[in-house]
Amino acid sequence: MMKFLLPLVSVLCFSFSVSAAQLSSFTANKVQKATQLQQEEKLGEAITLLADLTPSSNYDKAFVGRILGVYYWQAEKPEQASKVLARAVALQALEPQDQWSTQRMLADVLFSEQKFELASKNYQALLVSNYVPSKESEKLKLQKDKNELHLRIATSFYQLQQWESVITHARHYQSATSQETIQALRLTVVAQLQLKRWFDSEQTLSDLIRHEPNNITWWHQQISTQLQQNKSSRALETYALAKHQGVEFSQSDYKTLAQLYAQHKMPERAARIIQELMDEFPESKTEKLWKLQATYWQVAKEWESALSAWKNAMDKNPKHSWSLAKLQIQQGDYQAALKTMARAEKYAKPEQYGLAKIRLFYKLGRIHDALATAKRLDERHPSQAAAGWVQYLQHQVKMN
């Protein structure tokens, strides 16, 4: 968690100028001396001077505590800073504006030190404070400050994993810049996802995509929420839009997109996505991917492309020779199938292989080879199909 820089020095100087007259003369002199030491970069001495003070009035105690809190913060002693600021706030003795800003300092220190539960309590107390400035400019500043508190509170609850409260305060925050809008939306969408509010998170992610169209994380999460709602077609559209946007896809992205196309009975598009994947990532040209593409092409009845993909898969692993041979026979490429069949025998079931070989020999006009193959098959693996081929081929031999 980043540490927020607090504008404590400027606040302190302003408050001192308007409030010092209310201090006892003794405390005022000590505060003046501490201020001089601080300006002379003698921060340690300034802290010692103020820490040793024992004012009698609550106002003096709170005022000194407020200054001391700033000095501790500047000395990188947040624990001490939060303690003295908490005591100053608890006294409820400062002027309304100083009281409000002191509690804001306390909340910011706690927030920067990741004490989110305490920080959020102080921030929320500030939101319901009765302090109303007299000047219009100060009213506008207070309104702006309170608006900012919602984002701090939302962030605190985010760290505490109190997701409902994250959403509540993030929604109340009125963003002034695009970056602030994105920050609020990020907090919101994480909370919605944690609460499994898929529809709400889908809408928030649409807003995030509009602000950061090249952030692939939002596209991924958008697709995920759509799939959670069984909106596969919407998920497919989202992937297509991301690709059109020029978002860089990973190998996993391409594979998921291909699967979505296949699930929506668009195998040709799925096969083309696999080709894009292999073109983009040459190292992805694995046996598994060639097989996947061949399957998509085959379902799409793009026979030439399927044959090419099966050949590539076979080059990676000869076990795919059987799939290639079957398709070659189907497409009437018998000479090529005969060569492929020589490699495929050990990768096919004997019955299936034998029947395919009989058919192949028959198509090539090699009746005697087909009959011999049919007889062997019928002897080793008797079946109605094998017996039928034997009977048919014997008749063909007699006829010739």
Place of tokens 């409820």: 92
Q: Can you give the pLDDT at residue 247?
A: 87
Over the stretch 88-131, which tens digit does the pLDDT of each residue have? Answer: 999 999 999 999 999 999 999 999 999 999 999 999 999 999 89
Q: Can you give the pLDDT at residue 9?
A: 38
Decide if 189 contacts 208 (C-beta within 8 A): yes
Q: Is 229 helix (H, G, I), strand (E, B) or coil?
A: coil
Over the stretch 245-254, which tens digit does the pLDDT of each residue have? Answer: 888 888 998 9
Written as one letter, the residue type at 331 is: Q
Q: Can you give the pLDDT at residue 18?
A: 38
Per-chain mean pLDDT for the chain: 91
Collect all residues with Cβ–Cβ distance below 8 Å to 64 and sequence separation of at least 6.
27, 30, 31, 50, 53, 55
Q: Can you give the pLDDT at residue 163?
A: 98
Kindly report which listed range (16-25, 215-224, 353-362) carries the lowest average pLDDT score.
16-25
Q: What percent of the chain has pLDDT over 90?
A: 78
Question: How far lies 171's CA from each of 41, 185, 253, 302, 348, in Å?
Answer: 43, 9, 32, 52, 62
Over the stretch 355-386, which tens digit does the pLDDT of each residue have? Answer: 999 999 999 999 999 999 999 999 999 999 99
Instruction: Report, as an integer, the average pLDDT of 223-230.
Output: 90
Rounded distance, CA 18 to CA 27, Å? 15
Q: For the full predicted model, state whether its pTM sits above 0.85.
A: no
Instruction: Report, as an integer, the average pLDDT of 80-95.
Output: 95
**What is the dihedral sign for C-alpha 253, 259, 260, 265?**
positive
Rounded distance, CA 1 to CA 187, Å? 14
Q: Is the pLDDT of residue 15 over 50?
A: no
Decide if 49 contacts 57 (C-beta within 8 A): no
Over the stretch 265-275, which tens digit does the pLDDT of each residue have? Answer: 899 999 999 99
Q: Is the pLDDT of residue 175 over 90?
A: no
Rounded distance, CA 260 to CA 92, Å? 62
Over the stretch 184-196, which tens digit does the pLDDT of each residue have? Answer: 999 999 999 999 9
Q: Can you give the pLDDT at residue 22?
A: 82
Instruction: Report, as an integer, the average pLDDT of 385-398.
Output: 92
Could you give the count of Cα atoms lying within 13 Å of 285 in the half-sphere of its Cβ? Answer: 16
Residue 7, φ and ψ in degrees, nearest 5: -80, 55
Q: Can you give the pLDDT at residue 14?
A: 36
